[in-house]
């Protein structure tokens, strides 16, 4: 039985890719740092912001903190206007909540940017717990974010499904002892998700509701 669902945010609930890419590229230009490509930046979405600049750009290690600070200053202006919910997201969250499924967010995003996006998108009320990268010592793919969400909700991992668009999400969920589900509309494709052997992979957000209803008993 699935009693709890822990969602990743970027690439799972909301299409933030273009905003992240444009904000990252603008940061590099503003600081006079080496250019990167949209493809390279997309490949590391899901990691903490420091990891995105470390692995998705050629930013020197001594300037990573500066790049992150500049990115955060540019975020509201550049990234938020580009962000939208994926089709069926708001309706499916509402229906899952109405059916008694406890929902949580487990994200590498910072608290400030997440709160700004949740307010704009109008989905904050659906979540009983929110755990971000700032709440733990070890980010995804370590299990810490999911473990803290389990602790805050008093939830059992075998009754919890972790849903995400990257292998980082699935690795986190499995390491926490949870069930795992990949989504194909985000930042990584089906073959990448299949490499982690999730319980299911869905192509439309509304498939998640049907799956949970089938396993309600």
Report, as residue numbers or ranges, the catalytic residues.
Answer: 8, 10
Which residues, 6 or more positions from 112, have their beta carbon under 8 angstroms from its beta carbon? 72
Peptide bond into 141 cis (omega under 30): yes
Residues in the chain, total:
217
Q: Distance between CA atoms of 121 and 104, rounded to whole angstroms?
A: 16
* DSSP reduced 3-state for 199: coil
CA distances from 54 to 45, 50, 101 (A): 12, 6, 37
Q: Distance between CA atoms of 175 and 204, rounded to whole angstroms?
A: 25
**Helices in 59-205 by DSSP H: which ranges?**
64-78, 89-98, 111-121, 144-153, 167-175, 190-194
Q: Chain-centre distance of CA 190, in angstroms?
A: 17
């Amino acid at each position: 039985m699935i009693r709890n669902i822990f969602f990743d945010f970027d690439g799972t609930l909301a299409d933030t890719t273009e905003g992240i890419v444009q904000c990252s590229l603008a940061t590099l230009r503003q600081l006079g740092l080496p250019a990167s490509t949209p493809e390279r930046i997309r490949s590391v979405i899901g990691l903490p912001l420091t990891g995105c600049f470390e692995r998705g750009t050629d930013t020197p290690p001594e300037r990573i903190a500066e790049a992150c600070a500049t990115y955060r200053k540019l975020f509201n202006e550049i990234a938020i206007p580009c962000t939208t919910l994926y089709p069926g997201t708001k309706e499916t969250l509402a229906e899952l909540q109405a059916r008694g499924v406890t929902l949580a967010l487990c994200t590498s995003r910072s608290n400030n940017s997440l709160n700004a996006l949740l307010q704009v998108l109008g989905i904050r009320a659906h979540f009983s717990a929110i755990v971000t990268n700032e709440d733990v010592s070890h980010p995804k793919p370590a299990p810490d974010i999911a473990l803290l969400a389990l602790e805050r909700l008093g939830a059992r991992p075998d009754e919890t499904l972790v849903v995400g668009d990257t292998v980082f999400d699935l690795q986190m969920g499995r390491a926490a002892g949870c069930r795992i589900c990949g989504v194909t509309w985000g930042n990584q494709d089906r073959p990448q998700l299949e490499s982690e052997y999730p319980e299911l992979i869905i192509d439309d957000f509304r498939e998640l509701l049907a799956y949970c209803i089938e396993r309600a008993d």
